[in-house]
Amino acid sequence: MATIRIPGAVDPHVHLRDLEWAHKATVERETEAALAGGYWAVLDMPNTPPNTVTAERLRAKYDHVGARARCDFGLYIGADATADGSEYPAAAGEAVGLKMYCDHTTGSLLLSDEADRRRHLRAWKAASTAPVAVHAEAQTLAAMVQLAREEGVRVHFCHVSLAWEIELLRAAKAQGLPISVGVTPHHLYLEAADRRRLGGFALVKPPLKERPDREALWAAVLDGTVDVIESDHAPHTRAEKEGPNPPFGLPGLETTVPLMVTAMRDRGLGEARLIELLATNAQRIFGLVPPPETYTLVDPDASFLIADADLRCSPGWSPYSGMRVWGRVREVRIRGRVAFDGEQVWARPGEGRRLRP
């Protein structure tokens, strides 16, 4: 196969950590991993403490990340159950979206009450046209589809993992609801049975599901129901994952592109669809425009084993370690400059630019 050129690959769902969780990961290391993984830009979630739930914290985080990022980046603001959304007008021009955590996951942000969810949806809609990214599982996801229908808000459903969730979202999209769908590589490639092999390293939210769910996700990837492949890159230290109470999450910035290129061979994924899933759909959903001469070159005929020792991300481990994949990232160019040449990351900390939706 010929070299694949991806115009402005963007991962809209990452956790760069740093700040009060710098022991887990740092912006410098995770954006280095993003470039090595083939990405021009990443969108960072708001649940690293201190939670990014005010315009002041959003600006402070932009300053912090901006001084350290090697790739381009955008930040979400988070919905706080103790707040009323009055911060949103001041943050709307800077945040790439609002993140609502409607089920329990890492961190302290949680909107468990329907009235709270509706209030925040309305407040964000009044302040911004950017989407609301939602963590919602099972019946909570169904409830959020109904709220999106009633409120007319653009909602991006993150890391969808169940077969019946996909069917519900497929039907909602067919009805014209303004929603988009994200799926992670770990919900495509791993399943509940892998937890026996991987232990705490397989603990994620939403949890890994059964094989029929995986197959339903793959069908939705191929038929266009899924809009975005998002890594949900969520680094934790090896010691934390081996401990008695392992936290949710796993790293994925360096493995997402090769895993999806591998699907071209194993699943019949086409090149045009690959580019939609890794770049152009996220650009459209989040209103992002790559700079001129910004692209990734991938060699689809290059095969290699994923190995912990080769990873640049802070945790230095992957649940896919030992797996053979296809698709070696040969170059990432941003604004005409080589940021990654296939071996060396040349972009320096602080050279990444903030994205404005």
pLDDT in tens, 326-335: 999 999 999 9
Beta bridge partners of 78: 99
For strands 295-305 and 228-229, give the pairing: unpaired
**Is-contact 322 309, C-beta < 8 A?**
no
pLDDT at res. 107: 72
Mean pLDDT along residues 99-103:
96
pLDDT at res. 53: 96
Of 294, 314, 300, the residue nearest 355 (C-alpha): 294
Instruction: Please say if the pLDDT value at position 104 is more than 90.
Output: no
Structure tokens at 12: 């809209």
pLDDT at res. 356: 78
Distance of CA 188 to the CA centre of its chain: 14
**Is-contact 169 179, C-beta < 8 A?**
yes
pLDDT at res. 108: 79
Calculated CA dihedral for residues 326, 190, 142, 51, nearest 10 degrees: -80
Phi first, then psi: give them for residue 241, nearest 5 degrees: -70, -25
List pLDDT tens digits, range 203-234. Answer: 999 999 999 999 999 999 999 999 999 999 99
**Is-contact 38 312, C-beta < 8 A?**
no
**Is-contact 33 27, C-beta < 8 A?**
no
Instruction: Please say if the pLDDT value at position 106 is more than 80.
Output: no
Between the two ends of the chain, the Cα-to-Cα distance in Å is: 35
Phi/psi zone of residue 90: left (φ > 0), alpha (ψ -120 to 50 degrees), beta? Answer: alpha
Of 257, 269, 346, the residue nearest 298 (C-alpha): 257
Share of the chain above pLDDT 70, in %: 100
For strands 324-334 and 337-340, give the pairing: antiparallel
List pLDDT tens digits, range 231-263. Answer: 999 999 999 999 999 999 999 999 999 999 999
List pLDDT tens digits, range 21-52. Answer: 999 999 999 999 999 999 999 999 999 999 99
